[in-house]
Amino acid sequence: MLDVACKWRPEPDWANARLKGRTIEVGAIMGVTQRLVSGDAGRFLARYGLGKDVGALGLALGARYAVRVARDRLLVIGLSFADLPDGWHEEGYAVSTVDSALRVFEAKGEGIRDLLARATTIDPDNPGPCAAMPFGGVMGTVYRHADAETLRIHVDRGLAAYLWEWFECQPLFLQA
């Protein structure tokens, strides 16, 4: 039988994978609790006291927050299964755990705007209400976390190795 596995590079060791350039660095974040909420987003946000959801390139603060990924869908970070069980909730929304489905990358540094210019066509000064967007050739959920120079990118796990190779090819990371 033909062995086609040798055609692809092995997936990085995500716990230790880091790229560093002069003005930016990127790495994978492990252990982020990710939940997908579909339905009445307003009632969900009110019920869990999360305030307003974050849109494209919006700033998320703290360990618990919600990111808008569609008109009636949120990616919620930091709410555990004990806080919020999977399934249908009488308040009008459904919850699914997606920890295993999405890989989270974090990019930090002054070079964030340069990275955004290479990765997406979005105007960073007028980004829009939805954080789901094409990023580096794949669909991702992209927003700022903690400060203006920290960018989080959630992508399907199956596409994470591709996005990592895309990062490796960017001049931002070749300048170190």
Tens digit of pLDDT for each residue in 86-141? 999 999 999 999 999 999 999 999 999 999 999 999 999 999 999 999 999 999 99
> Which pLDDT does position 175 carry in this prediction?
62
First to last CA, the chain: 43
Dihedral sign, Cα of residue 11, residue 14, residue 16, residue 22: positive
Tens digit of pLDDT for each residue in 23-59? 999 999 999 999 999 999 999 999 999 999 999 999 9
Q: Please give the Cα distance from 150 to 59 (Å, whole number).
A: 9
Tens digit of pLDDT for each residue in 140-170? 999 999 999 999 999 999 999 999 999 999 9
All structural domains of the chain with their residue ranges: 14-31+102-174, 34-97
Tens digit of pLDDT for each residue in 1-26? 777 777 778 899 999 999 999 999 99
> Which pLDDT does position 2 carry in this prediction?
77
Task: Fold for 14-31+102-174, please state it.
Answer: Gyrase A; domain 2 (3.30.1360)
Tens digit of pLDDT for each residue in 61-78? 999 999 999 999 999 999
3-state secondary structure the chain: CCCCHHHCCCCCCCCCCEEECCCCEEEEECCCCEEEEEECHHHHHHHCCCCCCECCCCEECCCCEEEEEECCEEEEECCCCCCCCCEEECCCEEEEECCCCEEEEEEECCCHHHHHHHHCCCCCCCCCCCCEEEECCEEEEEEEECCCCEEEEEEEHHHHHHHHHHHHHCHHHHCC
Confidence band (pLDDT; 50, 70, 90) for 176?
A: low
> Which pLDDT does position 161 carry in this prediction?
96
